[in-house]
């Protein structure tokens, strides 16, 4: 397995803090890490289990439903960063549901999939599949299609969103250039490069025509999409973190440049983890690297503004 960088260890600690049962790593991913009772209660969401037919096991999805008087018939999916969980962006979900959206956030079993060495279970393959399966399950349950579907992705979730927006991995030189210019062992180790080559050779198409908008929060893995101008099928909004030390090099700016006129972009103050929901008291005591923001940054206010920004972008 690739050596996990500092950001990975921090995110892993965030997940392990939430675990309330054993997380089994085996040939197929289990349901993934469970969030704490405290975080789930504060999220105010219902839980839905969706079965992945590839490995026959369920993954958990948090679902927020608007009141009938606010419901606008539109769905927003939220894809967390590597080894996060379905409450990682619960406050953003609550902001959007208050504006009439149905919001759903799965827990992606990243660690189990990565350990399996099975390309069909790799997070880069499994995540976009799980997002589409979530849409299927919600539409089947409602007996109708949503008027529109949007995907918000943080970090690795940004890659997941772009796959549903129609982009295919293309290792035609951008990754080489990134690795020559940047000390990025999560993308550039020999094991990682071999893994990406294997996944690219599969040529899986995860484009989902139902997805009309993709919102990328501090998106990672952009160098895997090749060096040509990128033409996603969906409208794209990129929101970068102004002090992001977890994504080496200029990969976010480079991604925005290659998306060109096909994307809107903006920047917020704070680091890579500023997009995560505010921590509970116990989390804040144990995980200051993730939970503490620099003086002058109000994560609660920023997330409220972000919810309005996302809704404006989706409705434009």
For residue 5, the number of C-alpha atoms closer than 13 Å in the C-beta half-sphere is: 14
**pLDDT averaged over every residue in the chain:** 86
Provide the CATH number for the domain around residue 284.
3.40.50.1820
CA–CA dist 107, 32 (Å, integer) = 7
Average confidence (pLDDT) over 253-271: 92
pLDDT band at 223 (very low <50, low <70, confident <90, very high): very high
Residue 111 lies in a domain: yes
Residue 1 lies in a domain: no
CA–chain centroid gap for 247, Å, is 15
CA–CA dist 236, 241 (Å, integer) = 16
In percent, the amount of the chain with pLDDT more than 70 equals 89
Strand runs (DSSP E) across 80-202, as ranges?
102-106, 148-154
The partner residues of 216 in beta bridges, in order of sequence, read 153, 238
Residue 55 lies in a domain: yes
CA–CA dist 116, 25 (Å, integer) = 7
Residue ranges making up the domain that contains 291: 6-315
Is 1's pLDDT higher than 50? no
* pLDDT value at residue 36: 66
Number of independent structural domains in the chain: 1
Q: What is the pLDDT of residues 175-206, one digit of tens each?
A: 898 999 998 989 999 999 999 999 988 989 99
CA–CA dist 138, 161 (Å, integer) = 18
């Amino acid at each position: 397995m690739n050596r996990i960088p500092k950001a990975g260890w921090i995110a892993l600690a965030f997940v392990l803090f939430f675990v309330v049962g054993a997380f089994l790593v085996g040939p197929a991913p289990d349901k993934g890490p469970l969030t704490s009772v405290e975080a789930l209660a504060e999220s105010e969401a219902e839980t839905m289990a969706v079965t992945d037919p590839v490995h026959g096991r369920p993954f958990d999805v948090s679902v927020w439903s608007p009141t009938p008087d606010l419901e606008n018939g539109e769905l927003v999916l939220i894809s967390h960063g590597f080894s996060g969980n379905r409450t990682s962006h619960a406050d953003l979900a609550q902001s959007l549901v208050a504006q009439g959206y149905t919001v759903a956030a799965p827990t992606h079993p990243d660690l189990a999939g990565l350990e399996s060495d099975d390309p069909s279970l790799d997070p880069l393959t499994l995540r976009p599949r799980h997002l589409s399966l979530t849409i299927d399950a919600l539409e089947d349950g409602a007996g109708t299609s949503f008027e529109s579907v949007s995907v918000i992705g943080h970090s690795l979730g940004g890659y997941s969103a772009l796959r549903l927006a129609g982009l295919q991995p293309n290792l035609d030189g951008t990754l080489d250039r990134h690795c020559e210019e940047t000390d990025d062992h999560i993308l550039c180790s020999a094991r990682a490069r071999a893994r990406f080559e294997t996944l690219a050779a599969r040529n899986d198409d995860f484009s989902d025509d139902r997805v009309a908008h993709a919102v990328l929060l501090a998106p990672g893995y952009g160098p895997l999409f090749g060096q040509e101008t990128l033409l996603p099928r969906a409208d794209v909004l990129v929101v970068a973190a102004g002090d992001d030390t977890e994504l080496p090099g200029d990969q976010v700016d480079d991604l925005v440049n290659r998306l060109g006129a096909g994307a809107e972009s903006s920047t917020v103050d704070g680091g890579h983890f500023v997009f995560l929901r505010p921590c509970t008291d116990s989390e804040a005591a144990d995980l200051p690297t993730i939970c503490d923001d620099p003086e002058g940054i109000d994560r609660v206010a920023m997330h409220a503004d972000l919810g309005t920004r996302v809704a404006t972008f989706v409705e434009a």
